[in-house]
């Protein structure tokens, strides 16, 4: 049973437009959510995070929104750039102090020039 | 630059032949994790070390073992690899603590193939 779901395997966006990647979760005990970006042949790199007590966190072109009542979070990238083309993983922390994460299956973002 | 390094990047082994994957870190983080990721699937946590304390996930097969001889190094041993163990293996590190909202830092992974 997947506790973190990314229902869109892929997304294609034009350069300069907004990219919106979505993630749903089932466990209300998750206390911290993260987005990772992964290029081919590289490991995931941390992008942005949000605590469960907040509803928005912004870092430059990247904003993460958290809707706890809907158990939904989204990553907005504005404006999208070709270098943003990668697989994006949503992750939720369930281990508290141990910092253990459950990952979604990822969304492949393609930003077209 | 401080980082997480995995060796080798690609490993081929024979069915049933033991194999060891290695991970080293220069971040001085107290927690190290091993994940298995199969094609188009989410990375799945196998186990983690908090300092020298080993923590196995409930559904990790007995075939998978790990060693952490010191803060910097962690090894993944697969005692008798089966075809189903072919995957990308990712090592990650982080700092433990409830007040520490620190992300995990990943290596570039080892792609394991089984012949």
A100 vs B contacts (CB less than 8 Å): 33, 45, 48
Q: Residue A41 has what pLDDT?
A: 86
Whether the CA torsion B24, B28, B30, B36 is positive or negative: it is negative
Other C-beta atoms within 10 Å of A92: how many? 24
Beta strands (DSSP E) in chain A are 4-5, 10-14, 19-25, 32-38, 45-51, 56-59, 62-67, 72-77, 86-93, 101-103, 107-112
A4 vs B contacts (CB less than 8 Å): 42
**Taking CB atoms and an 8 Å limit, are A46 and B103 in contact across chains?**
yes
pLDDT means per 10 residues, chain A with 113 residues, are: 91 98 95 94 94 96 97 98 97 82 96 95
pLDDT digits (tens, 9 = 90+) for B29-70: 999 999 999 988 999 999 999 999 999 999 999 999 999 999
Please, are residues B101 and A95 in contact by the beta-carbon 8 Å criterion?
A: no
Alpha-carbon distance A75 to A19, whole Å? 8
B94 vs A contacts (CB less than 8 Å): 99
Using pLDDT thresholds of 50, 70 and 90, give the confidence band for residue B114. Answer: very high
């Amino acid at each position: 049973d997947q506790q973190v779901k990314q229902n869109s395997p892929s997304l294609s966006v034009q350069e300069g437009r907004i990219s919106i990647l979505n993630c749903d979760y089932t466990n209300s005990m998750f206390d911290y959510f993260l987005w990772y970006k992964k290029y081919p042949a590289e490991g995931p790199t941390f992008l942005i995070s949000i605590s469960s007590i907040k509803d928005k966190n912004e870092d430059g072109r990247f904003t993460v929104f958290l809707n706890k009542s809907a158990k939904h979070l989204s990553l907005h990238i504005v404006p999208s750039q070709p270098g943003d083309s990668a697989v994006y993983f949503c992750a939720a922390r369930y281990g508290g102090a141990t910092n253990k994460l459950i990952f979604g299956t990822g969304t492949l973002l393609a930003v077209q020039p | 630059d401080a980082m997480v390094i995995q060796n080798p990047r690609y490993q081929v082994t024979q069915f049933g032949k033991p194999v060891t994957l290695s991970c080293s870190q220069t971040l001085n983080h107290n927690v190290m994790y091993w994940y298995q990721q199969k094609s188009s699937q989410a990375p799945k946590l196998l186990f983690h070390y908090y300092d020298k304390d080993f923590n196995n996930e409930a559904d990790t097969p007995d075939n998978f073992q790990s060693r952490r001889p010191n803060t910097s190094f962690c090894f993944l041993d697969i005692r008798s690899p089966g075809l189903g163990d072919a995957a990308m293996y990712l090592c990650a590190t982080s700092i433990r603590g409830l007040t520490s909202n620190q992300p995990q830092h990943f290596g570039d992974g080892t792609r394991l193939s089984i012949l």
